[in-house]
Chains A and B, each alone.
Chain A
């Protein structure tokens, strides 16, 4: 009898203890809904016809679902093609950037060689270089190398951009790995390349995940370089450039524009939700080990 009473008050106390947290969570959910309202609105606008969109204001649920907006965006506004361009560009850039930053960060962190200090110094000195500063020579040299007006040239330019922070991430991580690990691998007969690929790189998985995700976002979002690389080749536009062009060309088709926006954003959001688990796991795994 007395034991039961004790249990109940215990549970009540725990519930009471949890209550403020639930109130805080509900409050935050309210803010979060406001936070993503522009996307909800875009989604709803992509399903309304143009008349309802202008009259509807903040109402989210369309009175009639107009799927034709998507067909217009996909075919007439070429967003099907823009999407493929963006996916190809982003995936290849992420692979190049991740590999080059991992290898560079690794040798800079683990080895002292002639020029290593200078190398690191140059990297840190150029940490802040923005695209607006480098854009003119980048375009000019791409013209000289016949790489302008091509996806390949755009990918190279994007991969060569400022990913100093990615190198520094790898640098910081590889630096704190104890020497003994490397020595053990050497004793086992592993060479330079084997140590990197079968010992160091797998250890750096959390950093690789972070770098890959951040590079993916940066490249998918890239606008300045794709804009100037596709001036005379509209068929090579990425979704970000396509969207700007869409508004310029058909200023009145706002619901088609919203549909194009959804087409451009949904793949990356879906992929993010899928990758985010891995991303957070990677970070917490790094903290645990």
Chain B
């Protein structure tokens, strides 16, 4: 290859990268860095002047019990929803992947439908469906003789209820991941194993599971990542209540940055930076898990 054509190629490579460099740079990379600066100033967002205050925003955030509360709520929520989303969807995907099952297309669509609907709207509608006074669920429970339950107003029930709704809402995404993973396993493999006399349990243990292992890691990583994006459902469903029991960190940040009468962007940014670090640590732990797992498997061989 001549020097000119190499230069030309390099030019085209960068032209292909420009849209991502610009958009991703302005709306993701820059904000990640700028958050650190904003977390060191006192600033209400309207005035031009930003007063440098050092680490005092962090001291305030660390001293705020409500911040630690939102930290705990976020992690607890993750622990509630991730296993349910990853494992239950695998079960359903395996059932919906069997070619002998009738009505398969219809069933897949039905289980996927909540995903395409707007999360914020689901939150609002669910608030009414679960309304303790006049919602249909409460009416049904009363008719069965249980008495109304205030799912979203009760301090102990609100978070689990939100978790169930979250799993329901995003079930289809993970199901599609799994279906795509299952479809990479050639059906002939099962047929051949069956001819050799393998039972359903053996098929699962010796074909499905080993073939799915790499996908399990990827799907878990994606699912954990998605649970940190839960502002929409939580905000419309509970707004963080009752008494901050469902206030995830994103709502905490929103409250300080946009919902307060005098916005405190410095305080909110400090919380955001800590949130970003939390997400990064969890992500790094997972990637480390991937590597450790791979090495372990390598050692066994």
Contact = CB atoms under 8 A, between A and B. Distances in A.
Contacts, number: 251
Contact of A58 (B24, B124, B136): B136
B136 A132 contact: no
Interface stretch (A5-13, A69-77, A100-108, A177-185): A100-108
A256 interface: no
B190 interface: no
A42 B136 CA distance: 11
Interface string A72-100: 00000000000000000000000010011
A243 B124 CA distance: 7
Given A128-B280, A192-B9, A265 B118 contact: yes
A223 B272 contact: no
A193 B12 contact: yes
B18 to A, nearest CB: 9
Interface residues of B, number: 88
Given A35-B110, A103-B19, A162-B28, A244 B136 contact: no
A209 to B, nearest CB: 12
A160 B136 contact: no
Contacts of A264: 118, 121
Contacts of B265: 136, 140
Contacts of B268: 136
B2 to A, nearest CB: 14
B102 interface: yes
Given A41-B129, A140-B38, A240-B118, 9 more contacts: A127-B225, A128-B282, A132-B231, A132-B250, A159-B23, A240-B119, A257-B125, A269-B117, A272-B113
Interface of A: 18, 21-22, 24-25, 28-29, 32-33, 35-36, 38-39, 41-42, 54, 56-58, 96, 99-101, 103-104, 106-107, 111, 113, 119, 122-123, 125-138, 140-141, 156-157, 159-162, 165, 167, 192-193, 196, 217, 220-221, 223-224, 228, 231, 239-241, 243-244, 246-247, 254, 257-258, 261, 264-265, 268-269, 272-273, 276, 280, 283-284, 287
